[in-house]
Structure 1
Amino acid sequence: MSHSQPISHAVHILNVEPGYEGQRIDNFLINYLKGVPKSLVYRILRRGEVRVNKGRIKASYRLQVGDQVRVPPVRMADKAEPSRVDSRLLDRLEAAILYEDKRLLVLNKPSGIAVHGGSGLNFGVIEALRQLRPEERQLELVHRLDRDTSGCLLIAKRRSALRRLHELMRGNGIDKRYIALVKGNWHRDRLEVNVPLLKNTLQGGERIVTVDPRGKESVTRFSVRERLGEWMLVEARLLTGRTHQIRVHAAHLGTPILGDDKYGDSAANKEIKELGLKRLFLHAETLRFRWPEAKQDEVFKAALEPSLEQLLNRMRAQLN
């Protein structure tokens, strides 16, 4: 979409570029007029103040390439300039890009960085990438990772790619595998956990997920990669994508993920901290999917950060 940021006192004429076709005009305006109440967006649509190709349209109108959209002046809340992301963080994210083409960017997200701003955070990965790639006007997260989880994160560079990837996700067409270090041992090398999860919000706004029959179906397949005495390095494959799914399922098995302050075991966390673990040991290692028109899979693999590799080596050395 060729435009600059909306200014409250000016009429804007926008030209719809490829990638935005098919989007409803109300959703487009809500996104374009960030900070404007939705009620105001629907009011200007009802009054006919928004025009497409000089004609009135309904909120359900779907944009087409080449449409000329007239956006009237709107009174916007005075907003501070968006936070500029620290250049050191931008450098870290630039170095963490695993792959990039016309449709897609794949990042090995560092632990400790949220995927998007909000809930007290001025910015996250997506805001930083938009600052890093100002010419890419359609950057969107395809999925999310918890703030403390590292690894493969998909960012679409075209709305058409975002739609296709979301279709694949809905049909289980994206194979996501994580690795985690857990406390304890299982008798078997493979386990499937199929217990429903319910998302709750605590008074402080913190989200907590519990195993609850009223929750949504949630399925994780675990397999043991390596047994390290009283610990195990395990692979987790998500068959559903619920909030905190792997962390809650691992804890449900009695083998919580190490470094997990929310669902973990504080004594085990203290013990492993002394060995050098300073974060949640959960890492999105591989992503595999196939574009509908392609003959072979796209496979992306994110290496563990050196501190986690060093920790595993120290644990192996202790066993010998």
Structure 2
Amino acid sequence: MLEDHVLFIDGEAIVIDKPAGLAVDRPRDNSPSVEAMLGDLTFGFQRLPMPVHRIDRDTSGCLLLSRNPKAHKRFHAAFEAGQVTKRYLAILDGVPEEDSGLIDLPLSKISSAETGWRMRGDAKGKPARTRWRMLNRGDQRALIAFFPETGRTHQLRVHAAEGLGIPIMGDPVYGAGGPAMMLHAVELTMPRDGKRDVHADAPLPQRFIDAGFGHG
């Protein structure tokens, strides 16, 4: 039940800790999704809340929902203007040589009948920028904090695989795959005029702890 995953709530906003494996939009195969479970998150309001942004099915963590159309419009504009601060944690299938940096790699979408669609780095694509910082350097893997400055589809996954040259552990499209993708939206902050900021911190998932990275 999604009400057990609420990290922040007031009259305008809800932030949930979306579980990994749960799609935001209703999939074609009608498997479970946030959209299909919005009735769990009304908390006395007649309107269903609406997701303001998207995170991948296999990514867990902070997902912002609006509780009325006016708030939705303002929140969406804040995302478009780059006013929302997001921090992600990722375990990489390798260890970068540097300790921090900026990945400035435009992205475009490609598709084929054989493999379906995916994103790739493309100088002629849409601008995409991600700052990153090393948090924990292991022998064969590393825990990284990603700070996306834009919000392109699969941005962090492609920026890891192509920008750093090291894919995210468990990524089924841009990496070697595995039982779980190690990408987690750990923090979200959105400023508001005249009201307290929308802010949420999502707890570290058990899969990160099991992988030997218990501190983010």
Q: Same fold (TM over 0.5)?
A: yes
Counterpart amino acid of residue 3 in structure 2: E
Specify which of 35, 40, 49 is matched with residue 126 of structure 1: 35
CA offset digits 1:82-117 (Å, max 9, x no partner): xxxxxxxxx2x2211112211111100000010010
1:202–1:208 contact (8 Å) kept in structure 2:
no
CA offset digits 1:46-82 (Å, max 9, x no partner): xxxxxxxxxxxxxxxxxxxxxxxxxxxxxxxxxxxxx
CA offset digits 1:235-288 (Å, max 9, x no partner): 001111000000001001211100001001x3xx5xxx6xxxx31000000001
Specify which of 169, 175, 178 is matched with residue 79 of structure 2: 169
**Is 1:300 paired with 2:191?**
no
CA offset digits 1:111-162 (Å, max 9, x no partner): 0010010333355102202255384314111000000000000010111111
Report the counterpart of residue 261 of structure 1 in structure 2. 172
SS of the counterpart of 2:65?
A: strand
Q: Out of 138-147 and 240-249, give the one that drifted further.
A: 138-147
Counterpart amino acid of residue 120 in structure 1: D
Unaligned runs of 5+ in 2: none
**Is 1:95 paired with 2:41?**
no
Report the counterpart of residue 202 of structure 1 in structure 2. 112
CA–CA separation in structure 1 for the residues paired with 2:180 and 2:105: 26
CA–CA separation in structure 2 for the residues paired with 1:144 and 1:204: 26
1:151–1:285 contact (8 Å) kept in structure 2:
yes
Counterpart amino acid of residue 96 in structure 1: H
How many residues matched?
212
Report the counterpart of residue 217 of structure 1 in structure 2. 127
CA–CA separation in structure 1 for the residues paired with 2:166 and 2:207: 22
**Is 1:106 paired with 2:21?**
no
SS of the counterpart of 1:312?
A: coil
Q: Residues 58-69 of structure 1: matches in 2 within 5 Å?
A: none
Report the counterpart of residue 309 of structure 1 in structure 2. 209
2:8–2:198 contact (8 Å) kept in structure 1:
no
Counterpart amino acid of residue 110 in structure 1: P
Report the counterpart of residue 288 of structure 1 in structure 2. 189
Larger Rg belongs to: 1
Counterpart amino acid of residue 259 in structure 1: G
Q: TM-score, normalised by structure 2?
A: 0.90
Q: Out of 155-164 and 184-193, give the one that drifted further.
A: 184-193
Q: Percent identity at matched positions?
A: 33
Q: TM-score, normalised by structure 1?
A: 0.62
Deviation at 1:309, TM superposition (A): 1.5
Greater fraction strand: 2
More RCO (CA 8 Å, sep 6+) = 2
Unaligned runs of 5+ in 1: 1-90, 315-320
Q: Out of 243-252 and 95-104, give the one that drifted further.
A: 95-104
